[in-house]
Amino acid sequence: MKNNHPWLPLIEKASLHMLEHDLHRRTELRQVNRKLPFYIASYIKEGSCRLHIAGRDYFAGPGDVVLIPPYELHDHVKDTNEETEFLWWHFTLQVAGCIDALQAFRFPVIFRLPKPEQFESVFHEYSRIAGGMSSLSGSLMKKAKALELVAILIDAAIHHPDVLLKAEHSDPFMSMMTELLDNPDRRIDLAELGKRYYMHPTYIAERFKKLFGITPTRLQLQLRLRRAKQLLETESRPITEIARLTGYEDIDDFSRFFKSKTGLSPLKYRTSRLAGGGGSQFN
């Protein structure tokens, strides 16, 4: 695939979250009928395992990576009693916390890394930093190593001859996506988008959802809610100003919207977050 891939703008806006990682040596593995809401990646350093997914059986040996997409029903098992060493991790790469930035691709579920030594070195370095004492530099290095780890994985997968695009790229829809992400406070109007892009509003909604897994209207609501939470957790601005910054001129409309999504009024949400001494992490 070309380096200037049409989906690159979406990936550049994505946030990576490493959920779990570890190194396991085991003689038994039986994970049956499993379906998880994140990517599962396992690098086989030694030994072997088997994967059953989408009606097919796959064998993985030393140097192979097993990559399982979110919500994909699968069995991951060992058929032999030999010891297998797994370097594994779970991650998401999402835009606005709701769009899988890799969803357009159908990656091979098993493939080889061209430079396994590089990958192993980065994985062990990430594990070392993640298990150390927290510090500003350590936190930044942890993020950098996590990105490097996933970049090595995706680079190998995207250059595999079996990789497929599940949806065709369309410049107008990527432009719409960029417009929404850059201007979450601007009220979306499908009819107005239809006039600008010479498309029927219903077609825009349906095609947008097919490409990105979410309608433009729902995406805007997600973006507004995310923005509102961020401001309430990190800013001392009045609620009326936060409402305006998230696209609501009427504070009552904003309060109804926010409560319908969180179960709390904006003020109670802010108070609860301050009382808990924490907040969400936004990238």
Number of domains in the chain: 2
Residue 1 is assigned to a structural domain of this protein: no
Counting Cβ atoms within 10 Å, is residue 276 exposed (0-12), middle (13-18) or buried (19+)? exposed
Contacting residues for 237 by C-beta, under 8 A, at least 6 apart: 231, 245
Residues 188, 270 within the same domain: yes
Tell me 27's DSSP state: S
Residues 105, 223 within the same domain: no
**Of 165, 181, 202, which closes a domain?**
165
Confidence band for 1, pLDDT divided at 50, 70 and 90: very low
Enumerate the β-bridge partners of residue 60: 49
Residue pLDDT, tens place only, 233-252: 998 899 999 999 999 999 99
**Alpha-carbon gap, residue 198 to 172, rounded angstroms:** 10
Residues 149, 227 within the same domain: no
Confidence band for 213, pLDDT divided at 50, 70 and 90: confident
SS3 282: coil
Residue 207 is assigned to a structural domain of this protein: yes
Domain range for 109:
8-165
Residues 151, 192 within the same domain: no
Of all residues in the chain, what percent carry a pLDDT higher than 70? 94
Residues 240, 129 within the same domain: no
Residue 2 is assigned to a structural domain of this protein: no
Kindly report the CATH number assigned to the domain that includes residue 98.
Answer: 2.60.120.280
Residues 96, 115 within the same domain: yes
Would you say residue 154 has pLDDT above 90?
yes
Confidence band for 4, pLDDT divided at 50, 70 and 90: low
